[in-house]
C-alpha cells in the first residue's frame, strides 16, 4: 500500500471535516467602512475562518461593499472560492439592513432561500432563511467525502435574525413560529437559528429569556451559553449573539461553539476593534464525518498496517 493511498484512507476514515458556521453583527457595514484598510483586513480574516458566515447590519446603500469584500476575501483565502447570497434590504422605515451569507461554494451549496413572510409585521428585519446542503453535491475534489456523492447534512436550514432591542422577547417568540414554518416548508429538522438576538442584559432579562418557547420546547440547544460575552467592550458582558441548534443529525455533528474574541487573536486594542464592530462573531463547528460509509474499521486496520510495516510500502 502506498503512503498516498494510506493518506487518502486517513481522510476518509478520520475524515471528520470541520465545518464552521458563523454569525457576525458587523455594525453599520458600509462601503466607506470596508474600504478602510484595517477594517477590510480584519473582516477578511474573520470571514476566512468560516465555511458559512451570516453578516448582519449590512447597511450599504451603494451595493458595492459586499462585492468588494468578496473580492478581497477570495484574494486572501486560497481555500475558497466564496460566494455570497444577500437578502433584500429589510426594515420598516428608511433604516434598512441586509443579511448576507458568505459561503465556501465547494464545501456547501445553497439549495434555496426566501425572506420569511412576516404577515403581522413582528420582525423589524425578517429572517432571510436559506437551505444548505453539506458538503456540496458539486464535482468532488479527489479524496474528499464529496467524491462519494454523499451529503452528511442533505438539508441544513439557517435562520438568521437581528432583533431590534425594543422588541427582543416578541421577536424571539415569533422566531419559534418561523422555525415551525421553515422546518415544515423544507421538511427539515436540522435547523440553526443564529445572529444578534440581543438576548441578554438590559434587552432581555434571564427570567424572560427562560420563558421563550425556544427555551422551553425540547430539542433546541443554545450552544452559545448565557454566560458568554459576545461584546467587544471590556465594560460590557452580554451574550447578545447566539447560535441555537435543532435536529438530531445536526446536533450529533456538534464539535465546539464559542464567541470569537478577534481583538485578542488579532492583537487589536479595544479602540481598534471597535472600528470593526462592538460585537464578537459567534461560531459553531460541526464535524462532518463520513466514516460509517466507508467501513472504517477495515480501513483503519489497513492504514495501521501500512504505517507500521514499511516493507509493505515499496513505493513509499
Ligand atoms: C478608527 O477609524 C478612524 C477612521 O478611519 C481612524 O481615524 C482611527 O484612527 C481608527 N482608530 C483606531 C484606534 O484604529
Q: Of 206, 193, 111, 199, which Cα lies nearest the Cα of 155?
A: 111
Residue 2, pLDDT score: 57
- Given a cut of 60, whether residue 288 has pLDDT beyond it is yes
* Residue corresponding to grid cell 480574516: 45
Active site residue 162: yes
Q: How confident is the model at residue 143 (pLDDT cuts 50, 70, 90)?
A: very low
CA of 270 from ligand 1 middle (Å) equals 11
Is 99 in contact with 160 (CB distance < 8 Å)?
Answer: yes
**Nearest atom, ligand 1, residue 275 CA:** 1
Is 113 in contact with 129 (CB distance < 8 Å)?
Answer: yes
Cell of 164: 431590534
Q: How confident is the model at residue 178 (pLDDT cuts 50, 70, 90)?
A: very high
Task: For residue range 179-211, list pLDDT tens digits in order.
Answer: 999 999 999 999 999 999 999 999 999 999 999
Residue 210, pLDDT score: 96
Compute how many other C-beta atoms are within 10 angstroms of the C-beta atom of residue 3.
14
**Nearest atom, ligand 1, residue 271 CA:** 13
- What DSSP assignment string belongs to 10-37? HHHHS--EEEEEEEEEEEEE-HHHHTSH
Average pLDDT over residues 53-62: 97
Q: Between 81 and 142, where is the model more confident?
A: 81
CA of 34 from ligand 1 middle (Å) equals 13
**Nearest atom, ligand 1, residue 269 CA:** 13
Within 6 A (CB) of ligand 1 lie 36, 271-272, 275
Average pLDDT over residues 260-278: 98
Residue 16, pLDDT score: 75
Q: Between 15 and 42, where is the model more confident?
A: 42
Q: How confident is the model at residue 139 (pLDDT cuts 50, 70, 90)?
A: very low
- Angstrom distance (rounded) from CA 250 to CA 189: 9
Residue to probe by mutation, ligand 1, list 40, 275, 276, most atoms within 8 Å of CB: 275
CA of 177 from ligand 1 middle (Å) equals 42
Residue 156, pLDDT score: 97
Active site residue 213: no
- Angstrom distance (rounded) from CA 163 to CA 21: 19
Residue 77, pLDDT score: 82
Q: How far is CA 101 from CA 162, 210, 261, in A?
A: 14, 29, 21
- Angstrom distance (rounded) from CA 217 to CA 12: 37
Residue 98, pLDDT score: 98
Is 84 in contact with 70 (CB distance < 8 Å)?
Answer: yes
- Given a cut of 60, whether residue 69 has pLDDT beyond it is yes
**Terminal Cα distance for the chain, rounded:** 9
Is 257 in contact with 282 (CB distance < 8 Å)?
Answer: yes
- Minimal-distance CA residue to ligand 1 atom 3: 275
The DSSP 8-state label assigned to residue 196 in this structure reads: E
pTM (two decimals): 0.85
Q: Between 304 and 104, where is the model more confident?
A: 104
Q: How confident is the model at residue 300 (pLDDT cuts 50, 70, 90)?
A: low
Is 17 in contact with 154 (CB distance < 8 Å)?
Answer: no
Cell of 119: 404577515
Residue 291, pLDDT score: 46
Q: How confident is the model at residue 80 (pLDDT cuts 50, 70, 90)?
A: confident
Amino acid at each position: 500500500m502506498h503512503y498516498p493511498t494510506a493518506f487518502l484512507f486517513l481522510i476518509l476514515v478520520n475524515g471528520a471535516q470541520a465545518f464552521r458556521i458563523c454569525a457576525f453583527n458587523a455594525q453599520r457595514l458600509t462601503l466607506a467602512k470596508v474600504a478602510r484598510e484595517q477594517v477590510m483586513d480584519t473582516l477578511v480574516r474573520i470571514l476566512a475562518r468560516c465555511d458559512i458566515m451570516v453578516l448582519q447590519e449590512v447597511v450599504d446603500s451603494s451595493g458595492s461593499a459586499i462585492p468588494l469584500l468578496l473580492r478581497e476575501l477570495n484574494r486572501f483565502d486560497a481555500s475558497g472560492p466564496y460566494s455570497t447570497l444577500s437578502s433584500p434590504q429589510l426594515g420598516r422605515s428608511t433604516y434598512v439592513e441586509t443579511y448576507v451569507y458568505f459561503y465556501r461554494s465547494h464545501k456547501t451549496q445553497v439549495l434555496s432561500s426566501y425572506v420569511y413572510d412576516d404577515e403581522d409585521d413582528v420582525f423589524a428585519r425578517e429572517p432571510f432563511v436559506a437551505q444548505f446542503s453539506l458538503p456540496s453535491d458539486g464535482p468532488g475534489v479527489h479524496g474528499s467525502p464529496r467524491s462519494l456523492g454523499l451529503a452528511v447534512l442533505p438539508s441544513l436550514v439557517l435562520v438568521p435574525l437581528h432583533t431590534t432591542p425594543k422588541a427582543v422577547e416578541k421577536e424571539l417568540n415569533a422566531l419559534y413560529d418561523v422555525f415551525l414554518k421553515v422546518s415544515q416548508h423544507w421538511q427539515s429538522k436540522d435547523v440553526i437559528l443564529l445572529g444578534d438576538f440581543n438576548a441578554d442584559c438590559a434587552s432581555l432579562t434571564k427570567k424572560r429569556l427562560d420563558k421563550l418557547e425556544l427555551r422551553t420546547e425540547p430539542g433546541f440547544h443554545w450552544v452559545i451559553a448565557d454566560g458568554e460575552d459576545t461584546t467587544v467592550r471590556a465594560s460590557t458582558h452580554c451574550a447578545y449573539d447566539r447560535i441555537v441548534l435543532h435536529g438530531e443529525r445536526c446536533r450529533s455533528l456538534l464539535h465546539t461553539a464559542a464567541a470569537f474574541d478577534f481583538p485578542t487573536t488579532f492583537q487589536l486594542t479595544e479602540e481598534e476593534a471597535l472600528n470593526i464592530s462592538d460585537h464578537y462573531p459567534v461560531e459553531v463547528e460541526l464535524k462532518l464525518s463520513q466514516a460509517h460509509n466507508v467501513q472504517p474499521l477495515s480501513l483503519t486496520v489497513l492504514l495501521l498496517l501500512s504505517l507500521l510495516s514499511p516493507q509493505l510500502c515499496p513505493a513509499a
